[in-house]
Homo-oligomer: A and B are copies of this chain.
Amino acid sequence: MSLPEGFYIRRVEEKDFEQVTETLKVLTTVGTIAPEAFSNLLKYWNESTVWNDDNDKKIMQYNPMVIVDKRTETVAATGNIIIERKIIHELALCGHIEDIAVNPKYQGQGLGKLLIDQLVAIGFSYGCYKIILDCDEKNVKFYEKCGFSNAGVEMQIRK
């Protein structure tokens, strides 16, 4: 469950701009992003909290993380868990895991699973009653290894 020697995990920071956007290209289109826009995004992500009756516990709405190779300061993997406050289940929290990508140079080392484990741990530490994600059929086996099971069908509409 813990990261292999030589890696650490932390929240995304401004200095990760180029490496995070590059890593996300294995998942989908990233496009052109100005560094200042990325800074503004991180500012928003770092300031957004979820209402919590227990005021002592600060719940971050966005939890963008990176696993970093210590030796070279290379981003090996990135992902996020977004926290939603609902009415159902007594005003429960639901976690949404999003935008998971592993740097091709670091694939096959189990880092993807360790990233998911960490994001799940963040969600449950906030008290989420469940954590969900959407994936391609071909990734179902991977998420099963991470402790997830099939819950339904993802439907989409695009402009």
Q: Contacts A24-B87, A37-B53, A88-B28; is A150 near B148 (CB within 8 Å)?
A: no
- Interface presence of A1 (CB below 8 A): no
CA distance A99 to B147 in the complex (A): 24
Q: Are the CB atoms of A90 and B148 closer together than 8 Å? A: no
**Is A157's CB under 8 angstroms from B131's CB?**
yes
Q: How far is the CB of A37 from chain B (nearest CB, A)?
A: 6
Say what secondary structure dominates the interface of chain A: mixed
Interface residues of A in 44-97 (CB under 8 A from B): 44-45, 48, 50-51, 53, 61-62, 64, 82, 84-91, 96
Q: Is A98 an interface residue (CB 8 A)?
A: yes
Task: Tell me the nearest residue of chain B to A147, going by C-beta.
Answer: B157
Q: Is the CB of A44 within 8 A of B33?
A: no
Q: List 24 A-B contacts (CB under 8 A).
A: A24-B87, A30-B87, A30-B89, A31-B88, A31-B89, A33-B87, A33-B91, A44-B50, A44-B51, A84-B98, A86-B99, A88-B99, A96-B96, A129-B158, A129-B159, A130-B157, A131-B156, A132-B155, A135-B155, A136-B152, A136-B153, A150-B153, A150-B155, A152-B154
